[in-house]
Amino acid sequence: MEKDVLIMGIETSCDETSVAIVKNGKEILSNIVSSQIESHKRFGGVVPEIASRHHVEQITIVLEEAMKEAGVSYKDLDAVAVTEGPGLVGALLIGVNAAKAVAFAHGIPLIGVHHIAGHIYANRLIKEMEFPLLSLVVSGGHTELVYMKEHGHFEVIGETRDDAAGEAYDKVARTLKMPYPGGPHIDRLAALGEATIDLPRAWLEEGSYDFSFSGLKSAVINTVHNAEQRGEKIKPEDLAASFQASVVEVLVTKTIKAIKEYPVKQVLLAGGVAANKGLRTALTAAFNEVNDIELIIPPLSLCGDNAAMIAAAGTVLFEKGHRAKLALNANPGLEITLYNDQ
Ligand code: KG4
Ligand code: ZN
């Protein structure tokens, strides 16, 4: 029998401080997530300086809790994997330095992980990956279609040219005077309304798998302002439903189109917006019509930022021989394709 691989994951790229212990890249022994949402709410978004301070306060507590809950000791760990980017530089640095301290103190390898690779690998905590596969990544900072021919190899076949899907959700929510993060609020509201308001869908040029959500976001803001000026009332639930219908239709249609050009065995949904009920339902319905391709949607607990997904991706990089130096730095603009040739 092969020896188990035990990896610690650390994630601090935005507003969650998280540490996890994962066995063989698939089994979560612990996954502690400390959210700062309450502290950022009154500012209507994440304040980088406040995020860093919270990470500093939380990281040791979360780390100790993750070790305790997993019931392992440091000598059992094979490596420590940490989000090196993209994200807020000050926030990333807290995780990167905590990981370096663990690696140095316990003499174990350090692995740098791309945040989006983590979101994709959240799916491996549910189901073994089969290649080639396509991942629809929808988060607060990213919206892209990522093709993978093997573990640890990422090819971006389409990405947003402006706002990410989650960002558009958050801005629309702010226009409707809802608290940060707005995505879940719009999602709940959309379920109560009808998509009766005509909003644009950005298909872009024929054959492109890129996305664009800023025109849709502006259309929603204009609809609200025009109605206010005319003294008309718009039902917020109908506006939310119409906005969501536009986002979901584009995401699902482009994904279905992509699997016709890129034959794959699986399609994985990934990122914070993967929690969206409208998207989950529409994607599931679309894949009912598709034979031979498995659709994997992570449970809600693994859609948002968490360290188990970083440990899962880190395990694959560890097994492929990736090692970061103790000089590892946070890299807010890190490209996912960096890992391909190593
Ligand atoms: O992946 P994530 O936790 O952080 C980033 O890596 O960006 O994604 C956060 C984003 C936020 O924009 C949030 O509003 C959005 O995911 N989100 C949702 C839902 N839950 C979270 N958007 C739409 N519907 C949801 N249910
Ligand atoms: Zn994320």
Are 214 and 152 in the same domain? yes
Residue 244 phi, psi dihedral angles, 5° rounding? -65, -40
Q: Let me know if residue 265 belongs to a domain.
A: yes
Are 193 and 216 in the same domain? yes
Instruction: Of 85, 90, 139, give the one whose Cα is nearest residue 310.
Output: 85
Are 293 and 322 in the same domain? no
pLDDT at 276 over 70: yes
Distance 300 CA to ligand 2 centre (A): 13
- Express each pLDDT in 180-222 by its tens digit: 999 999 999 999 999 999 999 999 999 999 999 999 999 999 9
Instruction: Of 68, 93, 63, give the one whose Cα is nearest residue 80.
Output: 63
> Average pLDDT over the chain, rounded to whole?
96
Are 234 and 266 in the same domain? yes
Are 153 and 290 in the same domain? yes
Q: Let me know if residue 103 belongs to a domain.
A: yes
- Express each pLDDT in 133-167 by its tens digit: 999 999 999 999 999 999 999 999 999 999 999 99
Residue-number span of the structural domain to which 117 is assigned = 6-121+303-341
d(CA 290, CA 308): 30
Q: How far is CA 262 from CA 179, 286, 293, in A?
A: 39, 17, 12
> CB-hemisphere CA count at 13 Å for 253?
15
Are 215 and 248 in the same domain? yes
The pair of three-digit structure tokens given for residue 274, joined into one six-digit string: 């993967």
Are 321 and 199 in the same domain? no
Quote the DSSP letter at residue 160.
B
Instruction: Say if residues 267 and 296 touch (Cβ distance below 8 Å).
Output: yes
- Ligand 1, residues at Cβ distance < 6 Å: 14, 115, 139-141, 166, 169-170, 181-184, 187, 271-273, 275-276, 304-305
- Give the confidence band of 1 by pLDDT, cuts at 50, 70, 90: low
Distance 131 CA to ligand 2 centre (A): 23
Best probe residue, ligand 1, of 13, 137, 169 (max atoms within 8 Å of C-beta): 169
> CB-hemisphere CA count at 13 Å for 259?
26
Are 179 and 85 in the same domain? no
Are 153 and 255 in the same domain? yes
Amino acid at 28: I
Q: Let me know if residue 1 belongs to a domain.
A: no
- Laid out side by side, the sheet with 6-11 consists of 27-35, 16-23, 6-11, 79-85, 110-114
- Express each pLDDT in 104-123 by its tens digit: 999 999 999 999 999 999 99
The pair of three-digit structure tokens given for residue 216, joined into one six-digit string: 């849709």
Q: Let me know if residue 159 belongs to a domain.
A: yes
Are 227 and 138 in the same domain? yes
d(CA 20, CA 311): 7
Q: Residue 262 sits in a domain of what CATH number?
A: 3.30.420.40
Q: Let me know if residue 22 belongs to a domain.
A: yes
Give the bridge partners for 19, in sequence order.
10, 32
Are 35 and 79 in the same domain? yes
- What is the reported pTM? 0.97
Strands 27-35 and 133-138, bridge-based pairing = unpaired
Residues 6+ apart with CB under 8 A from 293: 259, 264, 265, 266, 267, 287
d(CA 213, CA 217): 6
- Counting the structural domains of the chain, the total is 2
pLDDT at 342 over 80: no
